């Protein structure tokens, strides 16, 4: 009987548990769904509403994807429009069919560009003149000047290098020859005729035409360096010792030295003429 009473008590407890809404999970879930479906759920805080937070999170991603797709399509159209159109067989010139080069005449013959040059530098018909600067204030200009000088030195030909930063007379001379006040550096003259700047010299060197032009000039000994100036092309003035001043005994005052430039230098008598 005691066992039955215990069973009865246990069954009673289970019945009371099933009837209570606190322990019944189905009723609890049902009660929560009823609360969520009630119109009061719309009055909750938007931060606690999962549907609104999810839509806010995914909406900008979708718009971002559509904008990226549009940008990609625009880029594809841009590159497709910039593709070169292949010429038809009838438009191909005869020189290309025969296998000959299509380079312009000025690049085929090395001396045609020199003969067609209008700018001349008088008194330099027997040499190569390079106007450059040794100052490193503008990096691109210095690198171009250095590259052109190294190209000519690689052929071991003598060059009349005229540094406009060492003598202002060279700058005025170049401006008169070019007919302009603002002239970029470097500038090259071969046999008294204007050739061009760094881009022209580099292109002629790459296609092998510069070597044909320089065959007309004698070559120096390998590693030759002027023992007087060290290939700087300038030495201190021997008249004033680089001070640019001389004492006039007759007038008893200092005068400007007439032999040197503004830096108290003169051209090297051994390697510059």
Sign of CA dihedral 200, 205, 211, 214: positive
On average, the pLDDT of the chain sits at 74
**More confident call, 99 vs 181:** 181
pLDDT at 171 over 90: yes
Q: What average pLDDT does this structure show over 173-191?
A: 94
Position 115 scores a pLDDT of 62
Sign of CA dihedral 213, 217, 223, 227: negative
As a whole number of angstroms, the distance between CA 93 and CA 264 comes to 61
pLDDT tens track for 75-99: 556 545 444 555 444 444 444 444 4
Position 12 scores a pLDDT of 46
pLDDT tens track for 32-63: 444 444 444 445 455 555 555 545 444 454 55
pLDDT at 168 over 70: yes
Name 239's Cβ contacts closer than 8 Å, sequence gap at least 6.
246, 257, 259, 260
């Amino acid at each position: 009987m005691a066992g039955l009473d215990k069973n009865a008590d246990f069954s009673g407890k289970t019945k009371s548990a099933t009837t209570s809404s606190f322990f019944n999970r189905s009723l609890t879930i049902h009660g929560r769904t009823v609360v969520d479906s009630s119109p009061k759920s719309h009055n909750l805080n938007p931060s606690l509403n999962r549907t609104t937070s999810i839509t806010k999170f995914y909406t900008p991603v979708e718009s971002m994807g559509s904008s990226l797709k549009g940008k990609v399509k625009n880029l594809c159209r841009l590159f497709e429009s910039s593709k070169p159109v292949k010429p038809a067989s009838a438009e191909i010139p005869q020189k290309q069919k025969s296998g000959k080069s299509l380079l312009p005449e000025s690049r085929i013959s090395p001396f045609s560009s020199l003969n067609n040059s209008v700018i001349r530098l008088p008194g330099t018909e027997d040499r190569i003149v390079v106007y450059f600067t040794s100052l490193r204030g503008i990096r691109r200009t210095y690198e171009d000047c250095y590259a052109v000088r190294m190209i000519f030195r690689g052929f071991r030909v003598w060059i009349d290098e005229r540094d406009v930063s060492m003598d202002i007379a060279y700058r005025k001379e170049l401006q008169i020859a070019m007919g302009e006040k603002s002239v970029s550096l470097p500038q090259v003259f071969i046999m008294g005729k204007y050739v061009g700047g760094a881009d022209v010299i580099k292109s002629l060197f790459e296609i092998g035409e510069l070597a044909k032009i320089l065959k007309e000039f004698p070559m120096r000994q390998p590693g030759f360096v002027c023992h007087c100036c060290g290939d700087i092309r300038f030495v201190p003035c021997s008249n004033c010792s680089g001070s640019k001043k001389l004492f006039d005994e007759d007038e008893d005052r200092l005068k400007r030295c007439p032999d040197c430039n503004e830096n108290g230098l003169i051209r090297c008598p051994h390697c510059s003429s």
